[in-house]
Chains A and B, each alone.
Chain A
């Protein structure tokens, strides 16, 4: 009999330990596991290192959970600066180790395929590979298991297969302790179907020690297995499953709902001062015990306003006839 992987959000997030390297799925403002992030804040994790993009999880910098990131982007998209990130940088409470975008994928692809490192041409000619901007040591000092992070961000060598003294840049594998990924549908044993961009999630699911899937719907395995080529992550990689409707709000989930622009602008404004951020986090994180309380607070009117329409996967602003 298949082991029961379905757990509560609280129990799932409790496996994250202080000093873990945590991969949060999705990109910037699309398909992010935001409900899971709020639970991480409630459990007051410390010294977390995250990967790739730091955008809506800005509040986890403000609540003192995230202390390091190796990634290529730290901004709130069209909403502007990530306010908590900038405050933390000014106070020296955050390490940002800039990386290339493809390199973000390669550092996960390497462990996913069992490789110690990969050769990458993607940042040659950039200061991203400038050794003066290598913050590996700082990240290692935060990590519970420093050996997961290479002693150097990049190593330069000659391509041993070329006669032309061509320089190649080596990117070390980076194995996250935990990957948290939000999707529309997951089977009851962990088969995952992603709608919209896959981002780096598939690589992360094969690279991380533990994989937690939060999902809008838990559906029968047989339903997803009718069309296995449309599935993205197999049961064998998934450790825990959590049912979290609207778990990506206020980011977008293709096929389910639009980005909540109002909520994201409101956050960007509220987070600009420490006092206002404290009020915001009390109202939207610490004052709400669980996801049901969060959904009640958003309200049915907002949910209907954002709900996607078939077949578009988003909520059209103009007439449906014009788009079809």
Chain B
């Protein structure tokens, strides 16, 4: 299907993120507030009604009837299987039961290291961001971590100022001098699976562990993606992503977020 439907950049990001969940029906996903909630709800409606969502606040197998603004209110708790505490939820990845995690990023590098803690050099930080929340707990151990953020030279950087959540090659801080090592040598499992942006989808090379452009959205030029990336990006494997379908847009606009709570349009 290649109809040229009008969709906003935000809608594209959410729908392409939702498509990443297609292979994961009946698997467990740790889901955060914002775009991840939207993406998981679209995927549940269209492709994987058996997807089990776990929320950072300890809501297990959440059944979100009305889109929440907060992870911590009644909209998240109502109808879930059990409402426990944060530790039980976030330790799911470490226990090996959680296949999917969704994280945002203020900065991300070619190895998928994420910074959500502070901008500026180590000894002279310019300003603080929101902090890890549960990102580090999710990203250290989830089989597949999906990173969702808008793409620009400011966010896609050669090296993040602070590694909140480790990517494929991450800092070892435990042996004196800070040293970059492959994540598996630190005992971490899983790793970043893809970065989904407003322009395209990056994946990570099996050997070099560096990000490459896997798909660019219809109407987006590869040049545009390179202009918004602060590290060297391999585009030799890039292909055009499948057009967004009317069905996907309808589900987002009429079922998942009918009141446009998240202002994706």
Binds A, one of B8-16, B85-93, B206-214, B228-236: B85-93
Q: Complex: how many Å from CA A280 to CA B43? A: 43
Binds B, one of A25-33, A38-46, A58-66: A25-33
Selected contact of A126 from candidates B91, B164, B187, CB within 8 Å:
B164
Chain B residue numbers with a CB within 8 Å of A198 are 58, 83-85
Q: A128-B132, A199-B57, A259-B69 are in contact. Are A166 and B74 (CB under 8 A)?
A: no
Most buried by A among B58, B73, B162, B165: B73
Q: Complex: how many Å from CA A102 to CA B66? A: 28
Task: Please tell me the size bucket of the interface on B.
Answer: 35 or more
Selected contact of A259 from candidates B70, B175, B187, CB within 8 Å:
B70
Q: Complex: how many Å from CA A255 to CA B75? A: 10
Q: Are B87 and A106 in contact (CB under 8 A)?
A: yes
Counting CB contacts under 8 A, is B65 at the interface? yes
Chain B residue numbers with a CB within 8 Å of A167 are 174-175, 186-187
Counting CB contacts under 8 A, is B119 at the interface? no
* CB of B176, distance to nearest CB on chain A (Å): 9
Q: Which residue of chain B is the closest to A123 with respect to CB atoms?
A: B136
Q: Are A313 and B173 in contact (CB under 8 A)?
A: no
Most buried by A among B66, B91, B132: B132
Q: Are B87 and A105 in contact (CB under 8 A)?
A: yes
| Interface residues in B232-265 (C-beta closer than 8 Å to A) | 258-259
Selected contact of A27 from candidates B57, B163, B175, CB within 8 Å:
B57
Chain A residue numbers with a CB within 8 Å of B132 are 72-73, 98-101, 126, 128
Q: Which residue of chain B is the closest to A125 with respect to CB atoms?
A: B166
Interface residues of A (CB under 8 A from B): 26-31, 71-75, 77-78, 85-86, 89-90, 96, 98-102, 104-106, 109, 121-133, 156, 166-167, 169, 195-200, 202-203, 251-252, 254-255, 258-259, 261, 308, 311-314, 316-318, 323
